[in-house]
Amino acid sequence: MTVHVDLSRLKEAAAGPTTYRMLIDGRFVDGVEGKAGGRVSPGHGVEVSRYAFGTAADVELAVAAARRAFEAGAWARMKAGDRAALLLKAADLIDSRRDEIARLDAIESGKPISQAQGEVAGAADIWRYAAALARTLHGESYANLGDDMLGLVLREPIGVVSLITPWNFPFLIIAQKLPFALAAGCTAVVKPSEMTSASTVVLGEILMQAGFPAGVVNILMGTGPDVGAPMVSHPGVDMVSFTGSTRVGKATMATASQSLKKVAMELGGKNAQVVFPDADLEAAVDAAVFGSLFNAGECCNAGSRLIIHKDIEADFLAAYRELAARVKVGDPLDPDTKVGAIISADHHAKITGAIGAAADEGAALALDGRIPAANSSQYLNPTVVRNVKPEMAIAREEVFGPVLSVLSFSSEAEAVSLLNATDYGLSAGVWTSNLDRAIGVTRAARAGTVWINTFMDGYPELPFGGYKQSGLGRELGKGAVEDYTETKTVQMHRGPRTGWWAPRG
């Protein structure tokens, strides 16, 4: 199946790229050193965006602005109800610009427009959830310490936070961080991926329009080494929340350890769906297709491994192939597209390389989605790799493409052992109508999320994050605002105090 893209849907093909600037201290500015970057739509091969890129000098300005805004206290000590009102206003403005924001994520990342629209609506919902949490954030009191003592545990904002995001869900992932940091009373320096920065700049416009004070949110653009690294090492930053690859996450933690900053990490995954013969197989096939192809597989939560009972493997894969053939791969701006473009030519080469390496290692290509480069180098069709052994790279390493690795089992114990046989532990799915079995596999899974008879659902109310090398900490859920706080213990003494050296009286 080849992909042909009609450029008439892309207004930038005729009008040229749009320019985006950084937000520092309430003003949209170019970088101190005048650096710039650009983005070619991976789905169309047309330059769609030009960005002002920053360097360490801009990080200095942004951290100083965030620090001033924090110390001034107007934001950190604002009534939570007033902060919540601003978060709600931001959510309304996000809704009002939903189509525009979704289009930017689609043309910059290659994701399908209909999916991007859902992500922007989901992001607005998360901003609303954070607004609710702002008003319920509270500490603790201890009135059980004796008649002369009242103990209080105050929750205070941690301070200035650096928030660094990847390219695969540009608008959604910043929504998993920023509104919670703001709800806690923190100020922020934000850096989107250098490939997908436009929608985060639009978020900056929205926050300014909503009335957030200058300096509370600063948005920098640029590369990891130029901007991300100084955002992590800067002594004026109190906490770093990072979503991206496990490799960069480890380097980020090492840098943050030099100044003992708090870190939160959302990293890679090699998630599996385990399918038993007693499952609703039609639903499981659909979930296997969805789990492996959603966002072209460029998803930390992708169901990139299928662990299937050997008795049903052949029929299941036949049904998978039939359904996958009906999934529309193509122009991200076509409303019917389900699988868009791969983020970059480099990443495309990495995916096809991983498919080739799996075949060299002895796995079988049940479905080969590699499309000749002469046609379009940045699309891939669904790919299924069979006869995968747990020691193969395709079973252990994140491919981040529309590629399903199939491993088979004969017993529940073997299924659990395969499920846990990776360094990652982000999520897992189990398909069975046997409740005992579902509970057993769920309890044994070393993963931050387990779906039973469903896959990749998400709610702001439910915490999200990984075991093992998939990360550190959790986003979303009722603890999400607390993550951006410090506690302060206060001991209030009442009445005469017994002297230590010479008792009074």
Select 150 or 393, whichever has its Cβ closest to ligand NAD. 393
Chain positions 135 to 194 lying near ligand NAD, rule: CB under 6 A, are 164-169, 173, 191, 193-194
In the complex, what is the shortest distance from the CB of residue 171 to ligand NAD, in angstroms, rounded to a whole number? 12
* List of residues 6+ apart from 491 with CB closer than 8 A: 149, 150, 151, 152
One residue of 269, 330, 402, 477 binding ligand NAD per CB under 6 A: 269
Q: Print burial letters for 174-209: b (CB count within 10 Å at least 16), e (below 16).
A: bbbbbbbbbbbbbbbbbbbbbbbbbbbbbbbebbbe
One residue of 46, 72, 251, 472 binding ligand NAD per CB under 6 A: 251
| CA separation for the pair 234, 229 (Å, rounded) | 9
Which tokens sit at 476? Answer: 């979303």
The answer to whether 248 contacts ligand NAD (rule: CB under 6 A) is: yes
In the complex, what is the shortest distance from the CB of residue 253 to ligand NAD, in angstroms, rounded to a whole number? 10
In the complex, what is the shortest distance from the CB of residue 95 to ligand NAD, in angstroms, rounded to a whole number? 23
In the complex, what is the shortest distance from the CB of residue 247 to ligand NAD, in angstroms, rounded to a whole number? 7
Residue with tokens 């090699």: 270
Chain positions 377 to 406 lying near ligand NAD, rule: CB under 6 A, are 398, 400
Q: HSE-up of 152 (CA within 13 Å, CB side)?
A: 8
Q: 10 Å Cβ neighbour count for 454? A: 11
Helical segments of 308-420, H only: 313-324, 345-360, 393-396, 412-419
The answer to whether 472 contacts ligand NAD (rule: CB under 6 A) is: no
Q: How many residues bind ligand NAD (CB under 6 A)?
A: 32
Which tokens sit at 318? Answer: 């036949």
| Alpha-carbon dihedral angle through residues 495, 497, 502, 505, given to the nearest 10 degrees | 20
Closest CA to 381 of 360, 365, 358: 365
One residue of 19, 114, 245, 387 binding ligand NAD per CB under 6 A: 245
Chain positions 73 to 112 lying near ligand NAD, rule: CB under 6 A, are none
In the complex, what is the shortest distance from the CB of residue 259 to ligand NAD, in angstroms, rounded to a whole number? 14
Helical segments of 185-309, H only: 198-210, 229-233, 246-257, 281-293
The answer to whether 369 contacts ligand NAD (rule: CB under 6 A) is: no
Chain positions 283 to 312 lying near ligand NAD, rule: CB under 6 A, are 300
Catalytic site residue 300?
yes
Catalytic site residue 60?
no
Q: Which of 108, 119, 194, 266 is catalytic?
A: 266
The answer to whether 38 contacts ligand NAD (rule: CB under 6 A) is: no
Q: Which of 108, 300, 398, 475 is catalytic?
A: 300
| CA separation for the pair 90, 403 (Å, rounded) | 37
Q: Residue 111, SS3?
A: coil
Active-site annotation, residues = 266, 300
Q: Which residues bind ligand NAD (CB under 6 A)?
A: 164-169, 173, 191, 193-194, 223-225, 228-229, 232, 243-245, 248, 251-252, 266-269, 300, 398, 400, 426, 466, 471
